[in-house]
Amino acid sequence: MNRIAKISLLAFSVSFTGSAWALSPPNINTDIPWTDTGGVSNPSAGVFDATFNGVADIAEAFNHARRQEEIQRGLAVNMLGNLNLPSQIDWDNMTDDAKALMILNAERIDRVDIGGNIREYGFAGIESHIDNITKIYGDVLHDSDATGHSADGNTPFGRIDQNADIGVNALGAGSDCHEFINRAENLAYFATTGSSIPLPLERAIYGWIYADSGSNWGHREAALLQDIPLSGQAGWGFKDNNGETHAEGFLGIYVRSSPDYKPFPSFASNYAALVVMNIFDPVASPTSCHYNVTLDDLSVGGAEGKVPTLNVPVNTWAHIGLNTVPVTGSTVADIIGDDVTTGTYGTDWTVYRYDSTSNAYFELTPTDPMLPGVGYWFMHVSSAVTIDMRGSSSGVHVTHTPACSSPEGCFEIPLQANAGVSQWQMIGYPFRDSRNMGQVKIVTDSGVCSAPAGCVFGDSDAVTMVHNELWHYNGSGYQTIDSSATINPWDAAWVSVLPAAEGLNPRMLLPASN
């Protein structure tokens, strides 16, 4: 026997409205029970036919619910599209954070074309501070056999406000590192007389979005919140003033399952699970807030259009760099091999990298990893190939330093220098949108480009450390990239590190946003 309880988050309402921002999507009329390949799960009706058996059942349940929502709301068939998930092996290797971000963002993004002023951006990503708030409160619930939003004597808003890193006084009295929104937390609980709870995270998200009438759709409104909540208050949703324009808001997720957790005093369970979701809206200029995004907003069902593909003509060398990081599977076979439909590696197609230590090319094996920031050569001698990144991909890791020109952080590429000679190095551009090279910094440990300020790429000081141009091969010849030019997704480029940089630990900082 299974039982689920869901408790609505705290919300505020007032009477004023606004029309300039994007609305959240409407609610549905009635609950849609989980229906997978085994059948329906509707405990209130005594129906327990669902099998909850991995990605096939997850996709079946969500896609069935999307078809039912289309019927309830009078939408065209398939207007909400389908949830497409990775293989079972990849799914099993993913963290709960990654799984939640994929499903939630797919549900948010795939509602973009349903009419009205509904934009449906995804969450910007998993952020470590809100993730930690989520975990701490989840452990309080577990350890005290509790439910509800105030088991620690606080509220979801209070826990965020009082956090030293993102709270209202994170930068000193009255200096806030988050904006106000009228949603903060979703909770879900499961209990059984058996010995395990299958798919608690996936079922929690499903319940919040498709079976939440008992909470007046409060969980759905939190999961799908955009600039304006359904109650109509402009300024009470996400402000969309931080980071990239297709994503807004940070997410924290925590799942804990245990035979020790007893959430329902009147139900003699042998095993139970809880799921906690928290959200917050970062401020517009967070240079000093030091957000730590551990997983960004690429998601199954929403990654298309965010990460451009690369068309490589037959028998043509492609000069490439990775613009995201696969959550699982980062080898040559995973990243490029899955796009190659004909031929044998080493005979028909290949990948090379350049080693600056030995100043020599090396052919990679199919099991060698491919890394962001590194440049590669790829060719298929008998077939054109369209390369894409895996659906389960994340943005690259960035650091926050004073020299970085972006409040979102910078990707740092170590540069190798040799005394007496210019050292060639093949780098890869690590982002999925273009960047002007005038925003790039060169930083050293000492000298004219020393930290904390560094030097702007191409300026009079930087050119003593690094040549003022990069060189990218475009399939027919080399093109130069100077400080007035842009570097684009999938680009690799040669950089010439000058002898004066030897011994100074030179590195290139590429900003995460314009």
Quick check: 502 and 417 in contact, CB under 8 A? yes
Sort strands 125-127 and 250-258 into parallel, antiparallel or unpaired: parallel
- Inter-CA distances, 453 with 146, 428, 441, 461, 508, Å: 50, 24, 9, 12, 13
Quick check: 250 and 282 in contact, CB under 8 A? yes
Sort strands 310-312 and 2-7 into parallel, antiparallel or unpaired: unpaired
> CA 423 to CA 449: how far, in whole Å?
18
Nearest to 207 by CA among 4, 2, 3, 1: 4
- Inter-CA distances, 11 with 239, 286, 414, Å: 17, 26, 47
> CA 440 to CA 462: how far, in whole Å?
11
Residues contacting 49, CB < 8 A, separation 6+: 38, 39, 40, 41
> CA 200 to CA 196: how far, in whole Å?
10
What is the pLDDT at residue 433? 83
What is the DSSP secondary structure assignment for residue 122, as one 8-state letter? B
What is the pLDDT at residue 392? 55
What is the pLDDT at residue 13? 27
- Inter-CA distances, 503 with 326, 425, 463, 495, 498, Å: 33, 16, 16, 17, 11
Residue 79's CB is within 10 A of a number of other CB atoms, namely: 16
Residue 153's CB is within 10 A of a number of other CB atoms, namely: 7
pLDDT in tens, the chain (514 residues): 444 444 333 333 222 222 334 568 889 999 999 999 999 998 888 888 999 999 999 999 999 999 999 999 999 998 888 888 878 887 887 889 989 998 998 898 888 656 656 666 788 889 999 999 999 999 999 999 999 999 999 999 999 999 988 888 776 666 788 888 889 999 999 999 999 999 999 999 999 999 999 999 999 999 999 887 777 777 788 887 776 666 789 999 999 999 999 999 999 999 999 999 999 999 886 567 778 887 765 533 334 445 678 999 999 999 999 988 776 678 999 899 989 999 999 999 999 999 999 999 999 999 999 999 999 999 999 999 999 876 556 677 777 788 988 866 789 999 999 999 999 999 999 988 899 999 999 999 999 999 889 999 999 888 999 999 999 999 999 999 999 999 999 999 999 999 999 999 999 999 987 6
Dihedral over Cα of 474, 477, 480, 485: its sign: negative
Q: What is the pTM of this model?
A: 0.69
What is the pLDDT at residue 324? 82
What is the pLDDT at residue 192? 93
Quick check: 52 and 36 in contact, CB under 8 A? yes
Torsion of CA 476, 487, 120, 226, to 10 degrees: 180
Considering just the CA atoms, what is the radius of gyration of the chain in Å?
A: 25
